[in-house]
Every structure is written in C-alpha cells, then in structure tokens.
Structure 1
C-alpha cells in the first residue's frame, strides 16, 4: 500500500506517514483491485465504507430506467467516494461506481472513524474534522455540476465546464478525464450533438481541441 498517496488525501492530510500506518489497522482498511469497467458499487447497495482511489480513476454514474446514462463525477487518484452513503447508516446508494480503467481502491470503515476505539487512539478528532471537510467539498462539487447542466444550450454547458476545468488546472489549455461519450454523459447531452457543437466551436475560433485536450481561445 502506498502510504505516501494516503498522506496527500483530504482524509489523512497533515498526518504523518508512520501514524497513518497505525491508523489503518484501527480503521479496518482493506485494499482491492478492479479491472476496467468493473463495478465497485451498484445502485441499491448499502455500505458503511468509503473508498479512496489509490490508482486509476472511477466514475460516479446515474442510469435511468430507459438506459440513459449520466456521469455525475470522475474520482481520480487520492480522491474519495461513497462517503455520504457510508455516513448514512442503511441508506441505499442511488448511483453506480465504475472503474474507468484498472484501479486500486482502499476501503475504510466510517464507523471506525466516528466511534472511539477501545485503545483510545488520539487521531479520531483529526479524522472527524477531515471527514467534515470531505463532505463539504463534495457539496461544492455537486454545486459546480449543477452550474454545468443548468444552461439550456449545449454550447453554454461546454463553456461552463471548460471554464471550471481551466480554473481548476490553472491553465487555458486543459485535459479532461473523459472520452467523447463520457463527456456527453457528464454534460447530459447527446454524443453526436456534442461532437457537432465542438466542431463548430473550433471552426469559429472559440476553442481548439484534440481528443480530450482543449484550449480556450
């Protein structure tokens, strides 16, 4: 297990690597590997464990009964998922979590974070504060997603999304974590319509792009 990756995650931020090793046993941490497109969680699952992506990335997906797919969020290395459901005891998941490619995930029992262990470890207060930060950050992410899918026109959705990524990556040239179908799912639009709009935007000099790399002109 790569402890260095964990030390850079929001949950373990500010905690020394040697301390993290001791914590993992107390938290019943378990690492698992997943193949490309494998489902980590499915809609309806009930879990008490949050996941930390150690390698690769995963998509949070929402499918409706007609087979339409929406990508809610992409979770990369060092990021956390399923923390809300893990905190809400008995709450069934309303989304799927799927590996975008080969991935390794560390699962942590949230109950062990919120409940003081018999050995009276002194790190619980720090972990609870960190977990609150993670939950607040996820709320911000969902707010940004609403900003993306609220505009009625496809072009506005593309520009809002690319603008967010530009601020996030600190550059007017950005690399998005999606292929064209996944980007369409994230924006809640048709793939062919998205491809057509991107082509028009490039011809008009609004953007330039090649595969998943975009430049805002």
Structure 2
C-alpha cells in the first residue's frame, strides 16, 4: 500500500502516512483489482464500503430499461465513490460503478469511519471532516451536471460544459476527463450529433478540439 500517495488524496488530507497505516488496520479496508469494463458495484446492491481509486479510473453510470446509458461522473486516482450509499446502509444503489480502465480500488467500511473513536484520535476526526467535505463536493458536481444538461440544444450543452471546464482550469486550453462517447453520455445527447456539432464549432472558429483536449477560441 502506498501510504504516501493516500496522504495526498482528498479523503486522507491532513493525516500522515503513519497515521493512515494505523487507520486502515481498523477500518475494515481491502484492496481489489478490476479489468476495463468490469462492474465494481451494480445498481440494486446495498453496500457498506466506499471506494478510493488507487490507480486507473471508474465511471458512475445509470441505465434505463431500454439499455440507454448516462454517465454521471468519472473518478480517477485519489478520488472516492459510493460514499453516499455506503452511509445509507438500507438504500440500494441507483447507479453502476464500472472500471473505465484497469484499476485498483481501496474499499473502506463507512460504518467504522463514522463510529466515534474510543481514543478520540485527531486523525479519525480529520477523516470524518474530509468525508463530509467530499460529499458536499459531489452534490455540487451533480448540480453542475443538471446545469449543463438544461439547455435544449447540443451546442448549448457543449458551451455550458466547456465554459465551466475552462473556468475551473483557469485557462482556455484544457483537457476534459471524457472521451467522445462518455461526453455524449454525460450531456445526454447522441454521440454522432455531438461529433457533428463539435465539427461545426471548429469550422466556425469557436473551438479547437483534439480528442479530449480543447482550446476555446474567439471572443
């Protein structure tokens, strides 16, 4: 286990590698590897552990009865997933969690995280505070998705999403975490229609795009 890496992640921010090693020994932790496309959590399951991505990345998706998939989020190294459901032990998952590529996941039992530590150790309190902060950030991310999918046109959704990515990166040149299909799923649009609209925007001098790298042009 790379405790130095974990000490730099948002969940363990403010704790030392030595403290993390001690915490993991009592938090019901385990590590599993998954291949690309493998399901980590399936909709309908009741879970008790959140996941921390140690390497690779995962997609949080939802499917309807006709097989249409919508990407809700992407989690890369250091990010967590399924923490909300793990905090609500009787609430079945409404989403799938799937390996976007080969990945390694650390699972932590949330009940043990939320229990009051008998020794009132400071690093346990820090972990709980970090978990609350991350949950709030996830709610904000879902609000962003709603905001980006509110426009009725594909261009409107692209402009909303790309503008937000530019502001968050602090530059007109940035890299997004999705490929074309994943971006189409995230924005709830058809992939071909999305690609056509991106091509039009490039011809009109609004953007420059190369796979998941974008540059916003014009005024």
8 Å CA contact retained: 1:26, 1:117: no
Task: Provide the rounded CA distance (Å) in 1 between the counterparts of 2:146 and 2:5.
Answer: 30
1:108 paired residue number: 108
Aligned-pair distance for 1:161? 1.0
Task: Provide the rounded CA distance (Å) in 1 between the counterparts of 2:114 and 2:138.
Answer: 19
Matches within 5 A, 1:1-150: 1-117=1-117, 121-150=121-150
Root-mean-square deviation (CA, aligned residues, Å) is: 1.3
Number of residues of Structure 1 aligned to a counterpart in Structure 2: 217
1:179 paired residue number: 179
Identify unmatched segments of 5+ residues in structure 2: none
State whether structure 2 residue 173 is matched by structure 1 residue 194: no
Aligned-pair distance for 1:151? 0.8
Aligned-pair distance for 1:120? 5.6
Task: Provide the rounded CA distance (Å) in 2 between the counterparts of 1:196 and 1:89.
Answer: 44
Deviations 1:84-119, CA, capped at 9 Å, x for gaps? 000011110000001110001100000111113556
Q: TM-score, normalised by structure 1?
A: 0.96
State whether structure 2 residue 215 is matched by structure 1 residue 215: yes
8 Å CA contact retained: 1:59, 1:97: yes
Identify unmatched segments of 5+ residues in structure 1: none
Deviations 1:128-179, CA, capped at 9 Å, x for gaps? 2111111111111111111111111110111111112112222211212222
8 Å CA contact retained: 1:48, 1:89: yes
Task: Provide the rounded CA distance (Å) in 1 between the counterparts of 2:4 and 2:168.
Answer: 23
4+ long deviations beyond 6 Å:
none
Q: TM-score, normalised by structure 2?
A: 0.95
Task: Provide the rounded CA distance (Å) in 2 between the counterparts of 1:140 and 1:3.
Answer: 28
Helix, strand or coil: the match of 1:94? coil
